[in-house]
Structure 1
Amino acid sequence: MQDQLRITTLHLFPVLDKLLIELLKSLTEDEWNAQTVARLWKVKDVASHLLDGNLRGLSMSRDGYFGEKASPVNSFQELVAFLNKLNLSWTNATKRLSPQVLIELLETTGEQYSAHLQTLNPDENALFSVAWAGQEISPNWFHIAREYTEKFLHQQQIRDAVNKSGIMTRELFYPFIDIMMYAFPHTFKDTVLDEGTIISIIVSTAIGGQWNIVRTKTGWKLNKDNIQTSDARIMIDPDMAWKLFSKSWTPQMVSSKVEITGNRELGEQALRLVAVMA
């Protein structure tokens, strides 16, 4: 883990939570039932999933309680399948909860979870690794950063579904996309190219930025340098980026809408970056 790329997010959790509660309190009945880009989930399901994140985080990380013993997981895809099953059972069960109950629970558990995360030593090993970045062991600061992407992503899914802006700002979006780019080197883990090969992703507008991976003797290294000459260079807008890299949209849906210069094959491979467990 490259220390110079460490991303601090703890101070943003209360900001996101406050905006989430304000958003949910403003929704009409029709908006609670609006379809999101997460194909299996309506707005209410996404709100329920956010609550699940708070509750499971508190139960496991704070209280050391893991519930039923799970079957052994032997691969990334088995882990994804296990998490999808957990998520589905939760959203099905919480269909019996009212929006008001969800809001009240999100408000109280959000504060508790943020307070707990503040107690973790950022340099100690996290309870769970960030598998989508190819890590078997992750420090707590990166686990916390991953939790930030979850909170941002799912709130943005709700906002996108009900056409309400609010968090696509430099303060909140840039850390989100910055964290997601830790999946960039892992996307090319099996791709061996000449040393010095550079692939760049540029997320446009003032809320975006530039991220590069450079091939070295030991593998692909991530940096945020302003590199002008890359072997492959992808320009993508922020709205498209969060949907693509969360697997809400597929590379095929955006390949004709993004700008790829240089090696087209490498550029299209970069579009397969996924920074969620999916």
Structure 2
Amino acid sequence: MSRLPRAGMLDITGLLASERQAFLEVLRCLDGAAWQLPTECPSWTVKGIALHVLGDDLSLLSRQRDEATNGLITFAAEHPGLGFRQLLDGFNEQWVHAATFLSEALVVELLRLTGEWTARYYSDVDPDARGEPVGFFGARGPSPYWQISAREYMERWIHQHQVRRAAGLSDLGEPFLHAAAGVGARSLAANLSELGAKPGASLGLSIPGLGSWTLEREEQRWALFDGSSGHQTAELAVDPALATAVLSRALTASEAERAFATSGDEALARSALAEMAKMVGRPAPA
């Protein structure tokens, strides 16, 4: 049993307003041509991503704060026979296509407003109160709101970096990266398969100079701890210069694997790395 502190609730609500402010500053500096730049999201321009983030804000405010019918349920009723991924992609694409007529200035103003509303809502709601399931953390039933807001932060952080890369702008910086890494580590612990590891085996994750986490195999799952004992069964360390690119899905799975150095039990390290790279890697170009 690890003597490290167990990684528990991660409160990212204090970063929501500053992340949104940084996103607005990026969008305000873009000219009309830059809004039409292609991004790593298939078929979406910079404007498409901005509209998607706005749609997410409106959706979560409606279904979570106001307890309205989830728009995905309505979309599913109108499109029987589709799988979840097809439904989600179709629902998102429908909104982006319908909202394309909005002016860039109005999109920025609406994102400012919905950013304020969502930050206030997530700050006010009880972080342990139960809401919708968050599959990102392996949940099949109602999830605590700290996980719901953490998932939202991660998605916003990823999309903002997709826009930044399209426009040739620098990354957000370490405080935002550290929070995203903490969210990602919790998701990995919830979704990583057994990998043939026996109870007590441990897997270290680190961004040198920024943070480290340890996954320890229990009977039925991986438990996550903050920090490193220095005696893990295997260790994965990502190049700090590539950490944002890895976690914000800028790299393919094979590129993401090459961003890590491994040590310790090679079989465990390589198996874990291959599985993690599939989670964070973007599809390779056709």
Alignment TM-score, normalising by the size of structure 2:
0.83
Gaps of 5+ in 2: none
Q: Percent sequence identity over matched residues?
A: 24
Are 1:182 and 2:186 counterparts?
yes
| Structure 1 segment 61-80 matched on structure 2, within 5 A | 61-66=64-69, 67=71, 69-71=74-76, 78-80=83-85
8 Å Cα contact 1:181-1:275 kept in structure 2: no
- CA drift of 1:4 comes to 4.7
Are 1:142 and 2:144 counterparts?
no
8 Å Cα contact 1:184-1:213 kept in structure 2: no
Q: Which residue of 2 aligns with 1:103?
A: 108
Aligned pair partner of 1:51 in 33, 51, 54: 54
Query: In structure 2, how many angstroms separate the alpha carbons of the residues matched to 1:168 and 1:89?
Result: 33
8 Å Cα contact 1:35-1:41 kept in structure 2: yes
RMSD across aligned C-alpha pairs, in angstroms?
A: 2.6
Query: In structure 2, how many angstroms separate the alpha carbons of the residues matched to 1:134 and 1:195?
Result: 20
Q: Which residue of 2 aligns with 1:269?
A: 271
Q: Which residue of 1 aligns with 2:39?
A: 36
- CA drift of 1:36 comes to 2.2
- CA drift of 1:174 comes to 0.7
- CA drift of 1:52 comes to 0.8
Are 1:229 and 2:231 counterparts?
yes
Q: Which residue of 1 aligns with 2:164?
A: 159
Are 1:113 and 2:118 counterparts?
yes
* 3-state SS, counterpart of residue 83 of structure 2: helix
- CA drift of 1:231 comes to 2.3
The 1:275/1:114 distance shift into structure 2, 3 A limit, reads farther
Query: In structure 1, how many angstroms separate the alpha carbons of the residues matched to 2:123 and 2:96?
Result: 28
- Equivalent residues, number: 268
The 1:263/1:31 distance shift into structure 2, 3 A limit, reads farther
Q: Which residue of 2 aligns with 1:27?
A: 30
* 3-state SS, counterpart of residue 213 of structure 1: strand
- CA drift of 1:24 comes to 0.6
- CA drift of 1:115 comes to 1.8
- CA drift of 1:213 comes to 0.8
8 Å Cα contact 1:203-1:236 kept in structure 2: yes
- CA drift of 1:99 comes to 1.2
- CA drift of 1:21 comes to 1.2
8 Å Cα contact 2:201-2:233 kept in structure 1: yes
- CA drift of 1:223 comes to 0.9
Q: What does the per-residue CA deviation read over 1:230-251, in whole Å, with 9 as the maximum and x for residues that have no partner?
A: 2221111346344444544332
Gaps of 5+ in 1: none
Residue identity opposite 1:212 in structure 2: T
Q: What does the per-residue CA deviation read over 1:156-205, in whole Å, with 9 as the maximum and x for residues that have no partner?
A: 21112212225222x2221111011112223433434222111122123x
Alignment TM-score, normalising by the size of structure 1:
0.86
| Structure 1 segment 168-179 matched on structure 2, within 5 A | 168-169=173-174, 171-179=175-183
- CA drift of 1:70 comes to 4.9
- CA drift of 1:275 comes to 6.8
The 1:257/1:155 distance shift into structure 2, 3 A limit, reads closer
Residue identity opposite 1:12 in structure 2: L
- CA drift of 1:3 comes to 7.4
- CA drift of 1:105 comes to 1.0
The 1:267/1:42 distance shift into structure 2, 3 A limit, reads farther
Aligned pair partner of 1:6 in 5, 9, 14: 9
Query: In structure 1, how many angstroms separate the alpha carbons of the residues matched to 2:38 and 2:267?
Result: 33
The 1:118/1:186 distance shift into structure 2, 3 A limit, reads closer
* 3-state SS, counterpart of residue 259 of structure 1: strand
